[in-house]
Amino acid sequence: MPELPEVQVLVDQLAPRLKGARIRGVAIHDPKIRLCQEIVGRRILRVWRRGKYIIFDLSGQIHLLVHLRMTGWLEFEEPKRYRVAIRTGKGTAYFEDGRRLGVMQVVTPLELQRVLKPLGPDPLLDNCELSRLRRTSRSIKVALLDQQLVAGVGNIYASESLWRARINPRRRADRLQPPAVRALARGIVASMRKAVRYGPRIFEVQQFAVYGRKGKPCRRCGAMIRRIVQAQRSTYFCPLCQR
């Protein structure tokens, strides 16, 4: 599932291609998505991100809001299957989404505010302020997945960040001491910045420290990486580094 770094990489590709372009047409190939033709003729003023949401600011004070969910992505070359095609004067953006879970909708400024306001701090936009995490008794790994506590972190980067911070994923979030919280903030930012630097080939070339590496040696101490299940999601960690 695309998390904050993957979404940022996509925004970095979309913004220079589509900023200033006028929408000439919309082709919808999935009845689950309902886009009003009102966006046709409007100009794309800005493409930006908050957490895992992609926002297209359009002329006339409306927004196109996109959430990729599990398998969504936006391509510039026509794929075999796609849910929506947005045709502009600078090319066409195709919304590809194999599991059809992604969201694409037109919202007003007030509706956009209602969607984004509950989100926690964005690690790459808000200096990774994590005070909300210490308000819950859930395990720190599970708490990191709550978008109202910190926006943009998903299953992959939660494991990666906790490894960097040397924090056991089963520790209660409200029992983390300030030094551990600061280490976690640094770990989150470092993990995400590293991922963003991979650029468009992020899915092809990215190498993880612990995620998906069960039974392989820790890149720091050599102990075997373990996998456990938390909140029905896989967690990977080093039993020696993250006691």
Burial-class residue 49 by CB neighbours within 10 Å (0-12, 13-18, 19+).
Answer: buried
89 closest CA partner among 17, 13, 16, 12: 17
141 closest CA partner among 235, 218, 228, 208: 235
Spell out the residues 6+ positions from residue 128 whose beta carbon is closer than 8 angstroms to its own.
121, 150, 185, 186, 188, 189
Active site residue 52: yes
**d(Cα 4, Cα 51) in Å, to the nearest integer?**
6
* Set 42, 49, 50, 52: catalytic member: 52
Q: What angle do CA 192, 167, 179 make, to 5 degrees?
A: 90
Active site residue 233: yes
Using DSSP's 3-state secondary structure scheme, residue 197 falls into helix
* Set 132, 138, 166, 233: catalytic member: 233
* Set 2, 5, 121, 123: catalytic member: 2
Q: Are 196 and 157 in contact (CB under 8 A)?
A: no
Catalytic residues: 2-3, 52, 233
